Amino acid sequence: QWTDLSLIDHELAKQKRHVPIRQLVNRAGDALKALKPCFMMSPLSVAQYLEPGRLVFDLVVMDEASQLKPEDALGAIARGGQLVVVGDPKQLPPTTFFERVMDDGDVTDDDLTAAEDAESILDVATSVYQPIRRLRWHYRSRHHSLIEFSNHEFYKNLVVFPSAYSDHPGLGVKLIEVPDGRFVNRRNVVEAQNVVRAAVEHMRVHPQESLGIVALNFEQRELIDDLLDQEIMNDPHAEAFVSDWRGKSEPLFVKNLENVQGDERDVIFISTTYGPNEQGKQFQRFGPINGPQGHRRLNVLFTRAKRRVEVFSSLQANNIMTDSASWGVKVLRQYLEFAKNGTIPE
Residue 53 has pLDDT above 90, yes or no: no
- Distances in whole angstroms, Cα of residue 284 to Cα of each of 273, 314, 329, 331: 13, 14, 9, 14
Please, which residues have CB within 8 angstroms of residue 197's CB and are 6 or more apart in sequence?
none
The DSSP-derived string for 233-274 is HT-HHHHHHHHHHHTSSS--EEEEGGG-TT--EEEEEEE---
Residue 98 has pLDDT above 50, yes or no: no
Residue 157, Ramachandran bin (φ over 0: left; ψ between -120 and 50: alpha; else beta): alpha
- Quickly count helices (H) and strands (E) in the chain: 11, 7
How large is the average pLDDT for residues 268-292? 89
The pLDDT value recorded for residue 105 is 45
The pLDDT value recorded for residue 104 is 44
How large is the average pLDDT for residues 11-28? 92
Which ranges in 129-267 belong to alpha helices (H)? 145-150, 189-205, 218-233, 236-246
Residue 40 has pLDDT above 70, yes or no: yes
Cis peptide before 20 (omega within 30 of 0): no
CA distance 267 to 99: 34
Residue 283 has pLDDT above 90, yes or no: no
How large is the average pLDDT for residues 241-259? 92
Please, which residues have CB within 8 angstroms of residue 166's CB and are 6 or more apart in sequence?
none
Residue 12 has pLDDT above 90, yes or no: yes
Give, rounded to a whole angstrom, the gap between the first and last alpha carbons of the chain.
71
The pLDDT value recorded for residue 112 is 46
